[in-house]
Structure 1
Amino acid sequence: MADIYILSPDDKLLTVLSSHGRETCTFWDAKYKEELNKGSSFSFVADASHPDARFLFEENQVVFKDKDGVMRLFVIKELDDTSEEGEINTQVTCEAAMMELAETFVKDFRPTNKTAQFVLDNVLSRSRWVAEVTAELGVNSTTFYKKTALDCIADVINIWGGELQDTIEFDGNKVVKRIIKILPRRGKDGGKRFESDKDTTSIRRTVISYPVTALWGYGASIASTDEEGEETGGYSRFIDFSEVEWKKSKGDPVDKPLGQEWVGDPDLLERLGRLKDGKLIHREGQFNNEDITEPEELLKATYNHLITTACKTEINYELSVQLLESVPGYEHEHVELGDTTIAIDRNFAIPIETSQRVISMEYDITDPDNTCVVEIGQFLSALQKDGRIDQIESVIEKNRGTWESKPDAGEVTDGSFPDRAPPVPSNVVVKPMFQNVTLTWDYDPSSYIAAYEVYASQVNGFTPLKENRIFRGKTGGYEHFTGVNEVWYYRLRSINTRGTASEFTDQFSATTKRILTEDIVFGAITKEKLAELAVDADKLS
């Protein structure tokens, strides 16, 4: 059974709906969906003939618990009343309450070497929400100029790291606290397997292939001038990198001659190019970033986008599954958003055998175990037509500077430093303790180095990914709290102010200590003795 609390816009409890109530207003078909770092949606159908249905009114609020017991807050935005064959129902469509942060503006805020907690405290100061950052993300710098608080949160996640969860504290009668949480990661890497002959009733694999092998790159708009060379206050064309030359013989990744406004990759051309008159030609696309003001940086960003994103095929898996976690003895099958899972279905000619994160979960809150649909893999950019429309809209939004004044260009920002790759962290020392691991490395105080990053996993030979990053900050050490008698593997890298990363270090490993004395073996252990053992290196083995 599930309940939905209906509150007024000023947080006063109006009524409680129940999925199985006899006297209360009942509801059903209550579909809740959350996507990783992309927000959530909720809708339900209620008995419109019940007197309490009068509280299902636009802008009233909706509170319920998700399947993991996290309190969720939504706002009623759409109502669709129907009367058919004697049944009078209301379809209620809601919007996540945190979307109100799109109505709070940040005019000009430029944090320098600040924590994510400090930044979000300032961004949310004029709103009803507070930030709780539990991830160790270190310090960083950025500029928020004429942005909504919602956009600023997205920027913090992109720059500082961490993953988003919105929730509330609710005392049963009113909302006590609205919280934006930034967690180290959502979910876990627990080895959960979805299999077609066990808990997966259907599986759909979607592949979208629109790769390109070359990109035209355009950056910030250039200030227009009059005949005397004085700026007129407007902006004309975008900068490009036609006057930048790359040569592989000089260590550049590809050859890009002077005068050429696009950059291509010969390996991609060989693999994906189109054949014309017996010769391969590029599949071309466009890269835009109005924040980039230097042609050299634009060329690097365009090429990086080409080889990391624009040439890739997107793969998404949608699974209808039965959640076994509530069955006694199957608690280990618990799955939640962000988990790294394995999907297996060998009935296809091209078998599905993949390990991916859960990026979306949707279920009916009245029966999550039997209605859950999960997506793993990548968020698809949908139809390319829609993606190109979004790209155009993005360019328009980013170039509002053509009619709005720009921030003072004379200020020193992160972009003022050269975009050269920082050095790989050196003299790394990984030291296991009782139930934690300390990592130290040589700290480089150079201004162009923005942060160091530490990645960790219990899988030997792991690939460093955003979800296993445990630290980002400008320090020379970090303490990783784990557990007793655990094996962990680590890799580190440094990041410059432009976001360019060094190579990763080699893998380091550490095994936290296991206390083994006669007192423990035979059960004669006290809190005082354990504390003594924890600091006595001679008794650790």
Structure 2
Amino acid sequence: MSIIHILDGQTDVILATSSKFYNDVHRETLKNEEIFDFIEPITSKASPYLNKRNRVIIPTDDGFFKEFIIEKAYQSKGGIEVYSSASYFELMKAKPIAPMTLSSYSVEMLLDFILNDSDWIPGIKVYDGIKTIVFDEYTDPYSALKKVADEFGLELRFRIETNKNRITGRYVDLLERVGEWRGKEITSGKDLLNAKRIEFTQNIVTALVGVGPQKENGKRDVVTVANESARQAWGRNGQHLWGIYQVPDDGGNEDMTIQRITQLTSDELQKRISTVISWEVESADIEHIFGREHEKVRLGDQVRVKLTDFNPQFFLDARIISREGSIRTKAQKKYVLGEFIEYTAEDIKSVKRMLQKQIEKKLSETQVLEITYPKGDIDEKLKDVPITDDNFPDETPPTPENFEGSGLFKIIQLKWDYSPSSLIASYEVYA
């Protein structure tokens, strides 16, 4: 049974608890958008306190807690509809940060500075380097945290810690990546309930007019960039689909050359010439079934999805960028997938054919002995000898053959034939 706690919005004192709430929805995204909505019976002892920006503490699937601030509450005969948002949004209302330049600051120093006048404190930090951060104008601490995360290429996570039903700390973590690969597969016939493949074409253009930032003399440089292949694919009666792109001000308008404006406009056009695909998946939440603990899915996790009841069939490698469900009834969850790679059944067959060809290139026993020892000899030689960088054969392997590069959604997929002619510790790909 799930229990939520209602806290006084100013003192954090517990005012009431409730286990009678219903129709609840907890939604969280990697963009740090998080809400908790529910309905409380009008006769509940907690109902008088669901107002005045009081706070709601909810449990998570991992035994931790999340904190929300009540933004709206509608009272009717049936109950009180409560709409709350994550308490870390209050950082938008903390003391603003004046325009300034923070030179050679570490992540820890930046978190200390930004969170200094707030209820939040620095948590886990994974970046050891330093950077110079420039705030061109007044900004709120929440936006400042977003800027720091972008500059360092990290992801934000907000969490609270409690002890005996009291909040002991509100922490801001900056991680290399929220979530992990747990080996989870969402599969038709097992836990996949529904899936939607959504295709967006509304924002497609085939040519852009790039307008540069305003100079001191009041003028702006203007360039035109077009894509012929996109015109043939999307244009009507041979005409381009046009758009206007305001090139962002990078703080050095006088140094913004025509070449730079053209490059930025061209980069923007590349984002707009293709269909935007998104996936929404509804899955049965089976991790709470005995023996299925390994089936859990968390925000940011990498998962595989097998849609074998689609026509055509789809297979996805994807990341959970949004997660939605009830904390009271954990029967199912809704996920939005991002950073995904789509495979069709034909793609899978193609990979199998490639592997089959490699298997068919069997080496004779003589060829095998030329590059290695019999298994028995290897076992004897390696007995009680740990493999380290000092005894791993340092031999340059041949250049990979049949190399292919495919541009996918936010990802470049690289393929090449595996070569058994040498011992390869790892591959490194440069630009």
Shorter-chain TM-score range = 0.7 to 0.9
Aligned to 1:9: 9
Give the distance between the partners of 1:2 and 1:345, measured in 2 at CA. 32
**Residues 137 and 161, structure 1, Cα contact 8 Å, conserved in 2:** no
Q: Which residue, 153, 173, 177 being the options, matches 2:145?
A: 153
Q: Which residue, 136, 160, 166 being the options, matches 2:158?
A: 166
Q: Which residue, 138, 141, 159 being the options, matches 2:132?
A: 141
Structure 2 stretches of 5 or more lacking a match?
341-386, 390-404, 412-423
Amino acid at match of 2:248: N
Amino acid at match of 1:376: L
* 342-351 vs 331-340, which moves further: 342-351
Write out per-residue CA displacement over residues 458-500 of structure 1, whole angstroms, 9 at most, x where no aligned residue: xxx9999999xxxxxxxxxxxxxxxxxxx98565xxxxxxxxx
Structure 2 residue 242 is matched with structure 1 residue 301: no
Note the aligned Cα RMSD (angstroms).
Answer: 2.9
Distance 1:374 1:77, change over 3 A: same
Amino acid at match of 2:268: H
Q: Which residue, 302, 316, 330 being the options, matches 1:340?
A: 302
- Normalising by structure 2, report the TM-score: 0.74
Distance 1:303 1:117, change over 3 A: farther
Structure 1 stretches of 5 or more lacking a match?
20-25, 225-235, 243-260, 380-431, 435-460, 468-486, 492-503, 507-541
Give the distance between the partners of 1:10 and 1:69, measured in 2 at CA. 25
**Residues 191 and 283, structure 2, Cα contact 8 Å, conserved in 1:** yes
Amino acid at match of 1:167: R
Aligned to 1:223: 216
SS at match of 1:190: strand
Give the distance between the partners of 1:206 and 1:75, measured in 2 at CA. 33
Aligned to 2:204: 211
SS at match of 1:51: coil
How much has 1:15 moved relative to structure 2? 3.3
SS at match of 1:262: strand
* 186-195 vs 26-35, which moves further: 186-195
Write out per-residue CA displacement over residues 397-429 of structure 1, whole angstroms, 9 at most, x where no aligned residue: xxxxxxxxxxxxxxxxxxxxxxxxxxxxxxxxx
Amino acid at match of 2:18: S
Aligned to 2:418: none
Aligned to 1:42: 36
How much has 1:280 moved relative to structure 2? 4.9
Aligned to 2:430: 505
**Residues 65 and 72, structure 1, Cα contact 8 Å, conserved in 2:** yes
Amino acid at match of 1:151: S
Distance 1:374 1:181, change over 3 A: same
Amino acid at match of 2:10: D
Give the distance between the partners of 2:274 and 2:320, measured in 1 at CA. 20
Give the distance between the partners of 2:408 and 2:163, measured in 1 at CA. 41
Aligned to 2:115: 124
Structure 2 residue 183 is matched with structure 1 residue 191: yes
Structure 2 residue 267 is matched with structure 1 residue 314: no
SS at match of 2:318: strand
**Residues 5 and 13, structure 1, Cα contact 8 Å, conserved in 2:** no
Aligned to 2:173: 181
- Normalising by structure 1, report the TM-score: 0.60
SS at match of 1:147: coil
**Superposition map of 1:64-103 within 5 A:** 64-83=58-77, 88-103=78-93
SS at match of 1:121: helix
Give the distance between the partners of 1:137 and 1:81, measured in 2 at CA. 50
How much has 1:36 moved relative to structure 2? 0.8
Give the distance between the partners of 1:270 and 1:465, measured in 2 at CA. 21
Distance 1:335 1:464, change over 3 A: same
Give the distance between the partners of 1:222 and 1:139, measured in 2 at CA. 32
Q: How many residues align?
A: 351
SS at match of 2:92: helix
**Superposition map of 1:461-500 within 5 A:** 491=428
Give the distance between the partners of 1:465 and 1:208, measured in 2 at CA. 13
Distance 1:137 1:433, change over 3 A: farther
Aligned to 1:372: 333
Aligned to 2:381: none
SS at match of 1:223: coil
Structure 2 residue 22 is matched with structure 1 residue 28: yes
Distance 1:312 1:139, change over 3 A: farther
% of aligned pairs identical?
Answer: 23
Give the distance between the partners of 1:177 and 1:302, measured in 2 at CA. 45
SS at match of 2:147: helix
Amino acid at match of 2:294: H
Give the distance between the partners of 1:490 and 1:465, measured in 2 at CA. 23
**Superposition map of 1:254-269 within 5 A:** 261-269=223-231
SS at match of 2:9: coil
**Superposition map of 1:411-426 within 5 A:** none
